[in-house]
């Protein structure tokens, strides 16, 4: 592990299962020098994270993960270094969170139509005050004894194209990139290895993304090399992190296991000047 920064972490403000306090505690134990909490469609973790990091030597960089579309593909865009008080950004995020709630209601209706008696209250309980996503529906299904486990919820009902699936609002990747730039931030193509081919990546570069998430648990060493090559070729920035969502789903503990170097962060800062 070369680096000391993890710029892709989720908290209970979206579909992560660790609180901001737990995340900061772990970041300190892991010896991280910089983190970013990149919740889906919310920056509500930021102020608490900065207050907790005060005096620890950990830099908390503003972050968010936005779901966008380019053609028929779903593209996740990571934003960093923006001013989280930007009214344009916050009204967009509030709109997305409301749309997520409506979508969860539609998915519950579809499940009910399939004779799965899930109640929306049980999903809301999983989400707490956080931005609602399919993981909350999956956990609610397990909690209510309506599916065997978390992964079965996706493979039978709510995975892409499954009978209770509903898509999110369509926002173009270019719009998200512009919004982040207007808020003074940088935008990155998240985990391209999971869903993006080379043609799509080139289109995103043309749309003005500032960088690519090179380091991600889904990227093999060969893919890391490949994306690093693209970053150099197009004068882009490199980001990366663990995409940690907590321990609730089972599986390996990824916290702080995927890191980038401080040099990558310095380069981001220079790009903003």
Binding to ligand AMP in span 47-106, by CB under 6 A:
67
Binding residue for ligand AMP, selected from 134, 216, 219, 259, defined by CB under 6 A: 134
Q: Which does 84 bind (CB under 5 to 8 A by kind): ligand AMP, Zn ion, Fe ion, none?
A: none
Q: Does 154 contact ligand AMP by CB under 6 A?
A: yes
- Round to whole Å and give the CA distance between 12 and 16: 5
Phi/psi for 234 (5° steps) reads -105, 15
Buried b (16+ CB within 10 A) or exposed e, 249-259: eeeeebbbebb
Closest to ligand AMP by CB, 81 vs 154, is 154
Closest to Zn ion by CB, 4 vs 13, is 13
From the CB of 65, what's the least distance to Zn ion, in Å?
A: 7
**Do residues 165 and 107 make contact, with C-beta atoms less than 8 angstroms apart?**
yes
Q: Does 110 contact ligand AMP by CB under 6 A?
A: no
Please identify, among the stretches 49-57, 60-68, 129-137, 226-234, the one whose residues bind Fe ion according to the rule CB under 5 A: 60-68
Closest to Zn ion by CB, 184 vs 217, is 217
From the CB of 167, what's the least distance to Fe ion, in Å?
A: 15
Q: Which does 136 bind (CB under 5 to 8 A by kind): ligand AMP, Fe ion, Zn ion, none?
A: none
From the CB of 139, what's the least distance to Fe ion, in Å?
A: 17
Closest residue (Cβ) to Fe ion?
Answer: 76
Q: Which does 151 bind (CB under 5 to 8 A by kind): ligand AMP, Zn ion, Fe ion, none?
A: ligand AMP
Q: What is the largest CA-CA distance in the chain?
A: 56
- Round to whole Å and give the CA distance between 250 and 144: 18
Count CA atoms within 13 Å of residue 81 on its CB side.
19
Binding residue for Fe ion, selected from 70, 173, 243, 256, defined by CB under 5 A: 243
Query: DSSP secondary-structure letter at 169?
Result: P
The radius of gyration of the chain's CA atoms, rounded to the nearest angstrom, is 18
- Round to whole Å and give the CA distance between 100 and 130: 11
Q: Which residue, 97, 84, 80, 173, is CA-closest to 136?
A: 97
Q: Does 165 contact ligand AMP by CB under 6 A?
A: no
Q: Does 41 contact Fe ion by CB under 5 A?
A: no
Binding residue for Fe ion, selected from 76, 100, 216, 259, defined by CB under 5 A: 76
Binding residue for ligand AMP, selected from 135, 185, 211, 246, defined by CB under 6 A: 135
Q: Which does 134 bind (CB under 5 to 8 A by kind): Zn ion, Fe ion, ligand AMP, none?
A: ligand AMP
Question: What is the secondary structure of 207-229 as a DSSP string?
Answer: TT--EEEEE-TT--HHHHHHHHH
From the CB of 159, what's the least distance to ligand AMP, in Å?
A: 4
Q: Roughly how many angstroms between the first and final C-alpha of the chain, as a whole number?
A: 29
Would you report the helix, strand and coil content of the chain in percent, each value rounded to 5?
45, 15, 40
Q: What does the binding site for ligand AMP look like in residue numbers (CB under 6 A)?
A: 40, 67, 133-135, 151, 154, 159
């Amino acid at each position: 592990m070369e680096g000391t920064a993890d710029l892709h972490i989720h908290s209970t403000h979206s579909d992560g299962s660790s609180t901001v306090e737990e995340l900061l505690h772990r970041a300190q134990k892991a010896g991280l020098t910089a983190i970013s909490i990149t919740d889906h469609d919310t920056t509500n973790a930021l102020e608490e994270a900065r207050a907790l990091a005060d005096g620890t030597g950990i830099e908390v960089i503003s972050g968010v993960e936005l779901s966008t579309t380019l053609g028929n593909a779903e593209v996740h865009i990571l934003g960093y270094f923006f001013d989280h008080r930007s009214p344009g950004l916050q009204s967009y995020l509030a709109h997305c969170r409301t749309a997520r709630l409506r979508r969860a209601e539609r998915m519950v209706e579809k499940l009910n139509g399939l004779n799965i008696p899930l109640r929306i209250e049980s999903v809301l309980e999983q989400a707490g005050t956080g931005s609602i996503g399919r993981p909350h529906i999956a956990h609610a299904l397990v909690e209510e004894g309506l599916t065997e486990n978390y992964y079965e919820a996706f493979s039978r009902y709510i995975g892409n194209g499954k009978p209770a699936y509903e898509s999110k609002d369509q926002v173009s990747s270019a719009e998200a990139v512009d919004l982040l730039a207007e808020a003074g931030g940088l935008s990155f193509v998240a985990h391209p290895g999971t869903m993006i081919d080379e043609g799509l990546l080139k289109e995103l570069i043309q749309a003005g993304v500032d960088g690519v998430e090179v380091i991600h648990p889904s990227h093999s060493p060969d893919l890391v090399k490949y994306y690093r090559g693209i970053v150099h070729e197009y004068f882009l920035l490199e980001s990366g992190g663990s995409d940690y969502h907590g321990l609730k789903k089972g599986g390996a503990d990824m916290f702080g296991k995927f890191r980038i170097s401080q040099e990558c962060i310095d380069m981001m800062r220079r790009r903003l000047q």
